[in-house]
């Protein structure tokens, strides 16, 4: 076991699919290496949805200082570019206080923006794209073009308003990163720290079983009441992109009598499994990630030992 006072120059990132145990592992490790945690999750940053996002509990937040958890209201815009800018500042502040930093989460684009900067071609956000497709169907291509003129007039001027796919792509990039597509094509800002990336993985059958159990636990913990509270506050997944996410939109559909409770439960499980698959597709492209099979290493303790050996070797 290492000395709590040891300072590491590198930042550690713990990544992996949903339900793989990133939160628990990062908190246990933070207590050992005197670290604070940057949550790299595009939804945990929002208030009112801790069950739906499996955010750290009040007890867990006391065990290790977290950032980007329960900070914004659902109507507040947030994106990968904004996250990268703010997270870099907080990482510097943490390191200046002599503490280590752990980045924990499964939002691949957010992590990419933070540790590498990003190229326009790599940006993809299914929820934003779905919202844009709905806008195209209900309001038409001219509406989307006018939206682009508002947020990125430089790109709009270069585009044919009838080429709605290009317009939607420019809007997706802007809403996903907070940057104009023309800016991203000119720049790729990198941070001033190095990052060691470690990933948690399970055999597919085990991971899917963990996902199914997590969904059952979320429902037992009050997921439906949580979404009902959102309704009472006037929120909807149809109008707030932050809520257009797995585990929330299915409950909204159930409350609006579009699906039965059983259908809701099965859809949350299925959509979560699909999301986990997309996460792994993203992370597998990054060959810098050192993968740990939780079962093969004997659980969380084995993973901690593995990560500590990685830190010592750098």
Task: Say how far apart CA 203 and CA 292 lie, in whole Å.
Answer: 11
For residue 221, what is the domain's CATH number?
3.40.50.300
Q: What pTM was estimated for this model as a whole?
A: 0.80
Confirm whether 83 is domain-assigned: yes
Residues 25 and 39 in one domain: yes
Taking a C-beta distance cutoff of 8 angstroms, is the pair 19, 246 a contact?
Answer: no
Per residue of the chain (314 residues), give pLDDT as tens. 344 557 777 999 999 999 999 999 999 999 999 999 999 999 999 999 999 999 999 999 999 999 999 999 999 988 888 898 899 999 999 999 999 999 999 999 899 889 987 554 456 777 788 889 898 889 998 999 999 999 888 888 878 777 788 898 889 888 887 878 777 756 556 677 899 999 999 999 999 999 999 999 999 999 999 999 999 999 999 999 899 999 999 999 999 999 999 999 999 999 999 999 999 999 999 999 999 999 899 999 999 999 999 888 87
Which of 157, 184, 211 terminates a domain? The answer is 184
Residues 126 and 108 in one domain: no
Which of 135, 150, 184 terminates a domain? The answer is 184
Confirm whether 3 is domain-assigned: no
Taking a C-beta distance cutoff of 8 angstroms, is the pair 264, 272 a contact?
Answer: no
Per the document, the length of the chain is 314
**Nearest-CA neighbor of 221 among 70, 25, 50, 69?**
50
Residues 230 and 309 in one domain: yes
Confirm whether 32 is domain-assigned: yes
Taking a C-beta distance cutoff of 8 angstroms, is the pair 45, 71 a contact?
Answer: yes
Confirm whether 2 is domain-assigned: no
Task: Say how far apart CA 39 and CA 13 lie, in whole Å.
Answer: 10
Residues 54 and 17 in one domain: yes
Domain count, the chain: 2
Residues 224 and 141 in one domain: no
Task: Say how far apart CA 18 and CA 183 lie, in whole Å.
Answer: 32
Task: Say how far apart CA 87 and CA 167 lie, in whole Å.
Answer: 29
Residue the block writes with tokens 């990125």:
152
Residues 96 and 244 in one domain: yes
For residue 131, what is the domain's CATH number?
1.10.20.140
Residues 111 and 260 in one domain: yes
Confirm whether 4 is domain-assigned: no
Residues 98 and 220 in one domain: yes
Residues 227 and 168 in one domain: no
Residues 227 and 93 in one domain: yes
Containing structural domain, residue 168: 120-184
- Three-state secondary structure call for residue 180: coil
């Amino acid at each position: 076991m290492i000395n709590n006072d040891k300072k590491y120059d590198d930042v550690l990132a713990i990544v992996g699919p949903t339900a793989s145990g990133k939160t628990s592992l990062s908190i246990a490790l933070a207590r050992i290496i005197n670290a604070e945690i940057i949550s790299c999750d595009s939804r945990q940053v929002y208030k009112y949805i801790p069950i739906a996002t499996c955010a750290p509990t009040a007890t867990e937040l006391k065990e290790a200082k977290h950032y980007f958890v329960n900070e914004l209201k659902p109507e507040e815009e947030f994106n990968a570019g904004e996250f990268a800018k703010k997270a870099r500042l907080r990482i510097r502040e943490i390191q200046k206080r002599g503490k280590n930093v752990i980045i924990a989460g499964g939002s691949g684009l957010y992590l990419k923006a933070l540790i590498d900067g990003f190229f326009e071609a790599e940006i993809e956000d299914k929820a934003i794209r779905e919202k844009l497709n709905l806008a195209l169907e209900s309001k038409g291509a001219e509406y989307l073009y006018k939206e682009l003129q508002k947020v990125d007039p430089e790109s709009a001027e270069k585009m044919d308003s009838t080429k709605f796919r290009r317009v939607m792509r420019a809007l997706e990039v802007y809403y996903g990163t907070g940057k104009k597509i023309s800016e991203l094509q000119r720049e790729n800002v990198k941070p001033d720290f190095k990052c060691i990336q470690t990933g948690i993985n399970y055999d597919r059958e085990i991971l899917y079983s963990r996902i199914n159990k997590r969904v059952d636990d979320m429902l037992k913990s009050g997921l439906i009441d949580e979404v009902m509270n959102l309704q009472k506050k006037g929120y909807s997944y149809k109008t707030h992109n932050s809520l257009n996410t797995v585990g929330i939109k299915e409950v909204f559909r159930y409350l609006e009598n579009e699906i039965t409770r059983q259908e809701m439960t099965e859809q949350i499980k299925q959509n979560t499994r699909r999301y986990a698959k997309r996460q792994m597709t993203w992370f597998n492209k990054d060959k810098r990630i050192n993968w740990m099979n939780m079962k093969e290493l004997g659980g969380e303790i084995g993973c901690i030992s593995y990560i500590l050996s990685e830190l010592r070797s750098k």
